[in-house]
């Protein structure tokens, strides 16, 4: 399980890594290529985590009861999380 702050930290680190890659010249020809890279970055950040995440792009088709990511605490307010700029 992730706390709200852990989830926000994960998003911050993912955005930082993706922004760095794009700033260094990475180009994605299609949105699906970018989506796949986001999955790869998140999977890498969760490598040493006990959290199990299904990175299949169509989760609604592959949902397994009891295997969804669960967040504790207040409903998420992502206003404190930096936005992905793509630059």
Q: Is the pLDDT of residue 70 over 70?
A: no
The model carries a pTM of 0.61
- Per-residue CA distances from 22 to 11, 26, 34, 37, 86 (Å): 16, 5, 10, 11, 7
73 pLDDT band (50/70/90 cuts)?
A: very low
Choice between 36 and 60, residue whose per-residue pLDDT is larger? 36
> DSSP letters along the chain, please?
-B-HHHHHHHHHHHHHHHHHHHHTT---SSHHHHHHHHHHHHHHHTTTSS------TTHHHH--TT-S--B-SSPP-GGGSPPP---
Query: Using CA atoms, how far apart are residues 7 and 52, in angstroms rounded to an integer?
Result: 14
| pLDDT confidence of residue 75 | 47
33-50 pLDDT tens trace? 898 899 899 989 988 888
């Amino acid at each position: 399980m992730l706390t709200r702050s852990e989830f926000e930290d994960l998003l911050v680190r993912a955005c930082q890594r993706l922004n760095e890659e794009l700033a260094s010249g990475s180009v994605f020809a299609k949105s699906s290529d970018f989506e796949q890279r986001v999955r790869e970055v998140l999977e890498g950040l969760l490598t040493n985590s006990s959290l199990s995440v299904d990175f299949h792009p169509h989760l609604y088709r592959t949902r397994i009861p009891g295997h969804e990511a669960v967040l504790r605490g207040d409903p998420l307010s992502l206003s404190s999380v930096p936005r992905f700029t793509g630059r």
